[in-house]
Copies of this chain bind each other. A is one copy, B any other.
């Protein structure tokens, strides 16, 4: 019976219908919620990423149970479950198990979003600008990485007896600086071209590089044999070499890429070629024992000096708008915020840890504002607060730490509070500090710095 079809299993059509409804329905819920909250945040003059996170919390394990990572072991929202069951003709329990079984599909799309975001971050790092404010930015960046990392890790380990690996991980999550949030507030208040603005942006680029290197090393170590000098040195060396190679290639490989683009004729050449570079760098990073995320960032750095850099950015943005949103919402949805409920005495220690992380995260970055030498009068408070928001980079740490199973729910929630707190406070404080000072005498606009 050569041409006879395989007999359909009973119900396989129903299962396919249910899978489609679940997959499409999840996208719909995620984007409606994320968009609604993002719009609210824009109107409150707060970063939209806060909206996406809060949306995730509201529809996730600590909220409506609509978007529910299987790791949370929670029960799917009853209304959603019975709606999907009646539309697809399955039993509610079958819907739940299909929901859990297909959740990795959504997570893999969110990982694509993470890579796209880091790729775009790398693409947008203006390395020339970094050179222009070199020494000061480097000092601020290093202090702003070392202080929160050291204080956070030591505090968690010695004061709160958190095991070493999660303590180091939480410390590492505090090193990040979200360039986007500060840049948009600076831009809005016309401070982007000041010495303070340029220093913060330069330092944030460096922070990205340092932070992602630390992340790659910590995740690799955590999965391996634990902390000993040999592997640490080896990983630090490979990470250093990897980033150095990316920086070198961003100066030298771009012409080859541009030549390739010239030569390619089929439609979609730029986006496909950029995606090949991206996946190649991710593969290479993971293959030498680092994180694929570092590879995505390095791919962005490499292509940042291509002639097509602007075009690549434009094609990457829709991918980021869609898939990085899923990444942020999923982080929020997986959080168990009940561990922060102050009414439960068992949660006191967790709350204290969350508060501790927040204070260290603020103090460490603000102190960095005083760490550099300058002959001219600069507003060090503005620099310090500008370095404060952890934003998407802090969340990438949190997401990867959760994925790797490194963190307890309480520590996850504490890091989330630290990220939300700094991301929320930075624009509010910046507006407060800057609003009285527009064009004030202690600011030194450097209009000649290339933008």
- Range, interface on chain A: 35 or more
How far is it, in angstroms, between the C-alpha of A104 and the C-alpha of B98 when the chains are bound?
13
How far is it, in angstroms, between the C-alpha of A243 and the C-alpha of B390 when the chains are bound?
47
How many copies altogether? 2
Please report which residues of chain A, range 261-288, place their CB below 8 angstroms from some CB of chain B when the two chains form the complex: 264-268, 271-273, 275-276, 279-280, 282-283, 286-287
Give A384 Cβ to nearest chain B Cβ, in Å: 27
In the complex, A2 has a CB within 8 A of chain B: yes
How far is it, in angstroms, between the C-alpha of A322 and the C-alpha of B105 when the chains are bound?
17
In the complex, A72 has a CB within 8 A of chain B: no
Q: In the complex, which of the residues B16, B280, B317, B350 contacts A2, with contact meaning CB atoms closer than 8 Å?
A: B350
Contact A271/B411 with A3-B350, A13-B404, A20-B282 known, Cβ cut-off 8 Å: no
Which residues does chain B contribute within 8 Å of A266, judged by CB atoms?
Answer: 35, 38-39, 41-42, 48, 51
SS of A interface (majority)? helix
Pair B286/A20 contact, Cβ less than 8 Å: yes
* Chain B binder among A21-29, A121-129, A134-142, A365-373: A21-29
Which residues does chain B contribute within 8 Å of A264, judged by CB atoms?
Answer: 35, 39
How far is it, in angstroms, between the C-alpha of A404 and the C-alpha of B2 when the chains are bound?
18
Give A95 Cβ to nearest chain B Cβ, in Å: 14
Pair A280/B105 contact, Cβ less than 8 Å: no
How far is it, in angstroms, between the C-alpha of A108 and the C-alpha of B286 when the chains are bound?
23
In the complex, A433 has a CB within 8 A of chain B: no
Given A21-B287, A104-B104, 13 new contacts (CB under 8 A): A5-B165, A5-B405, A9-B405, A16-B404, A28-B280, A35-B264, A39-B265, A48-B266, A48-B267, A87-B286, A106-B108, A268-B321, A272-B321
Nearest 3 A-B pairs (CB), nearest first? A13-B223, A268-B321, A105-B108
